[in-house]
Structure 1
Amino acid sequence: MVVRVFRPLIERTTWRRWSHLVVGGALLMPYWFLAMSVTPLIPPGNAVVMVVLMLLVLPGAGAFVTGLVPTVRLLEGSLAKELLKGPAAALVPGSARSWESRVRAAAWFALHLGAGVVVSGLSLAVPPFAAVLILTPVVSWDTRLLEAWGWRGAWHQWAGPPIGLASLAALLALIVAAGALMSRLAPRLLGPSAAERLAEAEARAVRLAERNRLARELHDSVGHALSVVTLQAGAAGRVLDDDPVFAREALGAIEESARAALEDLDHVLGLLREDPSRPAPQATLKDLGRLLEQTRIAGVALDAAVDPQVEQVPAAVSREAYRIVQEGLTNALRHAGKVPVRLRLGIAGERLEVEMSNPIGAPRGDGAGHGGGRGLAGVRERVTVLRGDMSAGADGDAWRFRVSLPLRSGT
């Protein structure tokens, strides 16, 4: 029990919060000086009214008006986060971006200065007062001082120590209570408004979408290149002595795939660095022939039927369809190896249709069975953005992958 009573005396949080309140009291001083300079201009009246105006109304109004400045919220938020701790530690300091936030920050500023001046004043007055009372029985204070307090006889002086200790305890309780209250109020008055929370959520969603897009680009481009390069290198190594022409062709394809992967990687790194000088690689269905040829060089028996009209589809659909076909081929290479792959790509009405299939349960070649399983999720994200349809799964003894994309938005 005794430890619990005296614990606030040794806790750093208590004195951090006390320093926060003292800063508020110091900040109110200029407003008091301003009020004292303005008060003589007010016509004489009730003395009590004049004192209230000088000590409360004018300083409080001045503090409130100052708190409407957007930067005050940033400064007060930083100070509260650092010194008040507790619930205030979760504050994210920032300037006020709306009048609602300004008004809340102004109310906090006025409250901080008002509570601070009370705690500061008592912190200056109570300790010496308590010291005098505590030492009264053992120190011969000036008789006039004691008589002014009504202590004419010596026996009255023994009431001094309990009263002095009680006043110190009351001051400590006030400091603890005021600090805790300010810590609880800080998130409400200095925290984000509903509009700011919504804006932050939207910004977070945009950042997350951008990160997902970059992850898809890396997975589809670099991941495909590495899968193809692995198979091409294995094929070249096996026929290096028997078929040097094919080996040279495979090595050339490896070089081309690696160069394309480096370009894609350089583009993604440029986006991460927010470097606008990095041109974005814009592979489309017009580049599909090179992709299919690289897959064949890797040793895949690819049966591809591509409608020539697909080169005329809108650019946005063409770019996404290229990545979808690329990921489909990568999936076959990673999870089935060098098995026959059948690809059909054409236009049906107002939609672009992609169908790819390969046997399942076949012996796996080099490079098969690797990957983190994020490819189909990335394809589904692309299809969802374009408002298309997708299906993937086992169909008898084959793995079948279908995608249908509208050529125009809303169709």
Structure 2
Amino acid sequence: MVRLLRPFGRAVTYTRLLHLFIGIVWPSMWLFVREAWWIWLVAAAALAPAALVPAMRTAEGLQARLLLTGHRHDHGSTDIVVAPSASWGDRGRLVVWLEARLLLGYATVTCVAQLLFGTVHLLSAPFDRDFEEGGLFTLAGRGWWNVLLVPLLLVALAVTVVASGHLITALARRLLGPTPAERLAAMEERTEQLLERTRIARELHDSIGHALTVAVVQAGAARAARDPAFTDRALDAIEETGRAALEDLERVLGILRESERPVSSRPTLTDADRLLESARASGAKIDIELTGPLDTVPGPVSREGYRILQESLTNVLRHAGAVPVGARIAVADGTLTLEVRNPLTADIPGPGRGSGLRGIRERAALLGGRARTGPDEGDWQVHVELPLS
């Protein structure tokens, strides 16, 4: 019983009925001027050219979202689009929608009105009240037993309201829904959003993870050295790395707040000196080899290359400590090659173990490149190749 009555406790049940009423208001007004059946034919004919206007699809989509699904424009369901008509197929479906809405609206309003008329007629019959003719049906006599038929009419009225609401909503999703091209575009947009969220997560992992790793290594080294001069250098390194991490954090949060904000302020491989100095200050002995013009590397490749180098050095400091590191950055033959090698040592467990290497491989794959990580001739190697085109 509760399940049967649940639709009548939802506002959308009544807004769907209102949607059907609105669709026949304007031809109904003509009936007050002249009552003739052909007015409905004129109304149906007038809807066809109206559907050819591209903005009509937007108006119908907004109204359907608000009244049929209960969603507003900015939080609406993707089952009903609000974009203007872009093709003759869209216009054709809109013509069918307007005609179906008019026909279903007329049938629903007629049934609801007649069921209400019949209910009032049955209720008034025991009181010997004369009721104006005009309904689809009337009962002879004025017996008290007529009241017993009222529940049947109320059930029929409830079924009409709920069924017509479900039917008009199904028609809206079918005729005002997205075309295959629009579904593909929405899927691509959703994919871009997910990729952007993944990229931001990697940005935070690489930047903040690097800063925390440097701070932990420097603090531990300063405590072990017990040298005031070394402690001062360690604090300077922690301060510089922390400031850079705060800049990265503010930039990433700015991207989250402003989706149109450009990413050109992200560091590139031309800023690698700051990264190398931070790692050297943490005790790593870095031997860097640069080949080719870094300033000619395209922005997206250079920015991702910087993050790959940052994550590689962070892994060295986190898992190997202060060891000799060989780094090579080469630009040649349309390819950017990044390689970081360090001696294999006992792995040091730490938070986020493995996610950094996965991020390196994901960055390379998104740019159409490839990455190899793992032991190689007694060293741990990160080797990445990124196409420049």
TM tier relative to shorter chain: 0.7 to 0.9
8 Å Cα contact 1:236-1:246 kept in structure 2: yes
User: Letter of the aligned partner of 2:280 in structure 1?
Assistant: R
Correspondence for 2:289:
306
The aligned residue for residue 63 of structure 2 is 75
For 1:217 and 1:186, the matched residues in 2 are separated by: 42
The percent of aligned pairs where both chains have the same amino acid is 35
Matched, 1:224 2:210: yes
Aligned CA RMSD, in angstroms, stands at 3.9
Distance 1:66 1:8, change over 3 A: farther
Q: Matched residue of 1:369: which SS?
A: coil
Per the TM alignment, residue 51 of structure 1 is displaced from its structure 2 partner at its CA by: 3.6
1:36–1:130 CA distance, 2 compared to 1 (3 A): closer
Match of 1:186 among 172, 182, 192: 172
- Distance in 1, Cα, partners of 2:31 & 2:124: 39
Aligned length: 376
Query: Residue 356 of structure 1: SS of its match in structure 2?
Result: strand
Residue 349 of structure 1, CA deviation: 5.1
Cα separation, partners in 2 of 1:344 and 1:10, compared to 1, 3 Å: closer
Question: What pairs with 1:208-357 in structure 2 (closer than 5 Å)?
Answer: 208-240=194-226, 242=227, 244-274=228-258, 280-302=264-286, 304-309=287-292, 311=294, 313-316=296-299, 317-346=301-330, 350-357=334-341
- Output the CA distance in 2 between the equivalents of 1:290 and 1:144: 92
SS of alignment partner, residue 181 of structure 1: helix
Distance 1:73 1:335, change over 3 A: same
- 1:10-409 map, 5 Å: 11-12=7-8, 16-17=12-13, 20-34=16-30, 51-54=36-39, 56-63=40-47, 65-66=49-50, 69=56, 70-82=58-70, 91=79, 94-99=82-87, 100-133=89-122, 136=125, 138-140=126-128, 151=140, 160=146, 166-240=152-226, 242=227, 244-274=228-258, 280-302=264-286, 304-309=287-292, 311=294, 313-316=296-299, 317-346=301-330, 350-362=334-346, 364=348, 369-371=350-352, 373-395=354-376, 397-406=378-387, 408-409=388-389
Deviations 1:116-144 (A, max 9, x none): 333333333333434434664x4445699
Q: 1:186 to 1:369 in 2, by over 3 A?
A: same
Q: Secondary structure in 2 aligned to 1:307?
A: strand
Deviations 1:89-124 (CA, angstroms, capped at 9, x unpaired): 774563434344454345334433432333333333
1:216 is aligned with what amino acid?
R
Q: Give the deviation of 1:178 after TM superposition.
A: 2.0
- Per the normalisation by structure 2, the TM-score is 0.79
SS in 1 for 2:84: coil
CA distance in 2, matches of 1:309, 1:379: 22
Counterpart residue type for residue 352 of structure 2: G
Deviations 1:3-28 (A, max 9, x none): 59xx7567416885355224423542
Unaligned runs of 5+ in 2: none
Taking a change above 3 Å as real, the CA distance of residues 270 and 393 of structure 1, as seen in their structure-2 partners, is same
The one-letter amino acid paired with 1:123 is: V
Change in Cα spacing, 1:123 to 1:281, as seen in structure 2 (3 Å) is closer
CA distance in 1 between counterparts of 2:283 and 2:14 reads 75
Q: What is the rounded CA distance, in whole Å, between the counterparts of 1:16 and 1:315 in structure 2? A: 53
Gaps of 5+ in 1: 40-49
Q: Any idea what SS the aligned residue of 1:391 has?
A: strand
The question of whether the paired residues in 2 share the 8 Å contact of 1:225 and 1:257 is answered with yes
For residue 168 of structure 2, what is the amino acid of its counterpart? M
State the secondary structure of the residue aligned to 2:24: helix
Q: Contact 1:14/1:179 (CA < 8 Å) preserved in 2? A: no
What code does the residue aligned with 2:201 have? Answer: A
Could you report, residue by residue, the CA deviation over 1:196-241 in whole angstroms, capped at 9, with x for unpaired residues?
212211222222232233233322233222211221222233334x
Name the SS for the 2:255 alignment partner: helix
CA spacing shift, 1:309–1:196, aligned 2, 3 Å: closer
In structure 2, what residue type is equivalent to 1:283? P
Alpha carbons of structure 1 residues 385 and 10: separation in structure 2 relative to 1, 3 Å: closer
Give the drift of 1:403.
1.6
User: Does structure 2 conserve the Cα–Cα contact (< 8 Å) formed by 1:218 and 1:268?
Assistant: yes
Secondary structure of 1:400's counterpart equals: strand
Residues 392 and 401 in structure 1, CA contact (< 8 A), matched pair in contact too: yes
Instruction: Assess if the C-alpha contact under 8 Å between 2:12 and 2:67 holds in 1.
Output: no
DSSP 3-state at the match of 1:390: strand
Q: CA contact under 8 A between 2:119 and 2:153: conserved in structure 1?
A: yes
For residues 313-363 of structure 1, what are the alpha-carbon distances to aligned partners after superposition, in whole Å with 9 as ceiling and x for unaligned?
524344433322221111122233334433334456554433322333437
Larger-Rg structure: 1
Following superposition, the deviation at residue 391 of structure 1 comes to 0.7
TM-score, normalising length: structure 1: 0.75
